[in-house]
Structure 1
Amino acid sequence: MSWRLILFAVVLLGLMACTEPAIKPDTIDSGESDDAFVSEPVEASAEPDPDPFEAVVSQAYPELPDRLTIEALAGLPDAVNETSGLAYRNGHFWTHNDSGNDAMLFELSVSGKQINRRVHPLESANHDWEALAQDNDHLYIADCGNNLGDRIWIQIYKLAWDELDAARDRGVVASQRLNVRLADTQPERNVHAHNNDCEALTVVEDELWLFTKNWQNNNTRLYRLNKNAEAQQVISHAEYPVRGLVTGADYNPQTQQLALIGYRLGFLNLSAFIWLIPVADGLPDWTQASYHQIHPMGQWEAIFWHEGNLIVTRETSLLGRAQLGIIRLN
């Protein structure tokens, strides 16, 4: 997407122009002025309050570990260079592109380097597909992207795995459309300067959990959705201080652990991260959450628990081509 290319161009040009790092990798732009001249004397002020995020990380969460490293598994085919969601079925990963692309699901080969099948869900459109979620019977496609902030309703397309399994290459499958309104938001048209965006969906027990991508305050809100309601208006259950832009989510029912992936923006700086959060009594236990930087940098979009490890995908950008990778946790 054009804004991403502009962002990464600025990042790379800025870093190449500097003889010394302009900012430490963990630094977040505070927005405070660095003016060199003051026209009038000012009284000495008390020490500024500490960064709330840093205080929370150091006091409430376990000590931060070293960066987690993403091991490359495959360069993804050009046809999925804007990969945004990830699912797994019968030994194969499924993915899709986001806005500006066809309403198409792609089944990857075992290696991840080729495309086995392209399947179109009937009665669907790709306004901005951003995530996949799954249970034993269904695959869910979240058309929830909202860069401008002006969407009132979002759509989730529900597909039966049995029908998807039987579909031929370039075939079609039936889909059920679930219309969802985030009732505690007001639509606004202010690109990348609002809290109405969304790119993350996962299944937790009998619910769909939707996480927002808050450009303005860098938090995320959790919405708990009914997997079967064709129209629903919901309000957020909670808001969490992720201090970044959440781009993907997945829940591991075996370990009852939630994973969120995203990135943080600073001055000439972009860093990717993962939050690992236990789920207890049907809710995220944020007091036991842990924050992890991930390397290498990139627009990491999708995340999926697989055999105790995390599979992730990255979009094509100036920081690298679209990629399938693994974070080994065991």
Structure 2
Amino acid sequence: MIRYALIFVLFFTQACAQKTQYGKLNRLGDFPSKLNEVSGVAIGDETIWVIQDSGNQDKIYKINQKGNVTKSLKIDHAKNEDWEDLAMDKAGNLYIGDFGNNNNDRKNLTIYRVSSSQLKKKEPNAEKIEFRYPEQTEFPPKKDSLLFDTEGFFHWEGHLYIFTKNRTRPYTGETLIYRVPDVEGEYDAELLGSIVLCQSQNHCSVTGADISADGKTIALLGYGLIFLVKDFELPNFDSASIQIIDFNSETQTESIGFLDEKTLLIADERNKGTGGGSLYSFSLN
């Protein structure tokens, strides 16, 4: 098992024990058939972008609030090995997280940065932010240390905050929190700590992340669950609290973003068994 020296490890056992709240998704519309595997969403001023994960094209898609595609752009100098999430900064620059790592054996983890000026072109050029997790020394690690898959991140004040997806056996529920600078280069990701959201492998692994515009609330997505992280001051999470919301869904929910301070957008992948392939809103009131 991985050991961390001089790094605080945060286990939110109180959050896991607290009473779960309940809510309901509001279905806004269905994605077209070419968007079966929406894996990430980023929301700007009157702009919503989505991506798809491995096996799909090196494209980003602009959609409306009904899930309809209004524009698609092929990203130059970017390969979709496993695009898993999108983030956007306040200047309108877009970040594509090519860090899907189901088998925990990748050594080419990348975040593509597409500037706001490039987004106006027919085939935008991407810069590469390449990184590694210094705590990972085996590819793949042992089953009890499969902590280096990633599906969620967000941008805040010059950094990209990364939340890993737990695939340990037996399942521990632990999510590692890292950050890297938001500029082109090669980096050792900085480990900030870890959290345990809950103990169900079917629901508690992070599949998406975003932060509110005021920086006061982080929304993490699992399968059927939203985790609202509050009472923190980045990059420190030692005083954070977590609110758990069950929205009673069995679909493969993969993407989350703040539409405004009180509204989240959520997307799920289309699956023959459970359905999905839709865009939803969720009210935090």
Give deviations 1:199-235, integer Å, cap 9, x for gaps.
0010122211000001112211100111114100124
What is the one-letter code of the residue matched to 1:277?
A: V
> In 2 relative to 1, CA 327–180 (structure 1 residues): closer, same or farther, beyond 3 Å?
same
In structure 2, the residue matched to 1:304 is 257
- Deviation at 1:297? 1.8
- What are the residue-to-residue correspondences of 1:219-230 with 2, within 5 Å? 219-230=174-185
TM-score by length of 2: 0.85
Q: Which residue of 2 aligns with 1:84?
A: 39
Secondary structure of the residue aligned to 2:206 is strand
Matched, 1:322 2:277: yes
Q: Which has the larger radius of gyration?
A: 1
Q: CA deviation at 1:183?
A: 1.0
Cα displacement (A) at 1:120 = 1.3
Q: How does 1:1-330 map to 2 (within 5 A)?
A: 57-58=16-17, 61=18, 63-65=19-21, 67-112=22-67, 114-137=68-91, 138-164=93-119, 166-167=120-121, 171-189=122-140, 194-216=146-168, 217-243=172-198, 244-254=204-214, 256-263=216-223, 272-282=224-234, 283-284=236-237, 287-307=240-260, 308-317=262-271, 318-330=273-285
Secondary structure, aligned partner of 2:16: helix
Bigger mean CA offset, 290-299 vs 239-248: 290-299
Tell me the secondary structure at the aligned position of residue 236 of structure 1. Answer: strand
Q: Decide whether the 8 Å contact of 1:129 with 1:142 is kept in 2.
A: yes
1:110 to 1:300, Cα distance in 2 relative to 1, 3 A: closer
SS at 2:147's partner residue? Answer: coil
Pair 247,106 (structure 1): closer, same or farther in 2 beyond 3 Å: same
Whole-angstrom distance in 2 between the partners of 1:316 and 1:121: 24
Please name the residue that 1:26 is paired with. none
SS in 1 for 2:109: strand
What are the ranges of 5 or more consecutive residues in structure 1 without an aligned counterpart?
1-51, 264-271
Q: Distance in 2 between matches of 1:162 and 1:103?
A: 19
How far apart, CA to CA, are the structure 2 residues paired with 1:92 and 1:290? 28
- Once the 2 structures are TM-superposed, how far is the Cα of residue 157 of structure 1 from its aligned partner? 0.4
* Distance apart, 1:56 and its partner CA: 5.3
Q: Against the structure 1 CA distance between its residues 228 and 78, is the aligned structure 2 distance closer, same or farther, given a 3 Å change threshold?
A: same
Q: Contact 1:184–1:235 at 8 Å: present in 2 too? A: no
Equivalent position amino acid for 2:167 in 1:
W
Q: CA 1:219 to 1:92, structure 2 compared with 1: closer, same or farther past 3 Å?
A: same
Alpha-carbon distance in 2 for matches of 1:192, 1:323: 33
* Partners of 2:134 and 2:152 in 1: CA distance: 18
* SS, match of residue 275 in structure 2: coil
Distance in 2, Cα, partners of 1:153 & 1:239: 23
Q: How many residues align?
A: 262
CA contact (8 A) 2:180 2:190 kept: no
Q: Is the 8 A contact 1:133 1:140 kept in 2?
A: yes
For structure 2, list consecutive stretches of 5 or more residues without a partner in the other structure.
Answer: 1-10, 199-203
Q: Which amino acid aligns with 1:306?
A: L
Give the Cα–Cα distance (whole angstroms) in 2 for the partners of residues 86 and 127 of structure 1.
17
SS at match of 1:246: coil
**Aligned residues: CA RMSD:** 2.2
Residue 79 (structure 1) shift: 1.2
Tell me which moved more, 121-130 or 280-289.
280-289
User: How far 1:279 sits from its partner (Å)?
Assistant: 4.8
Contact 1:262/1:300, CA 8 A, preserved across alignment: yes
Report the TM-score, using the length of structure 1 for normalisation: 0.74
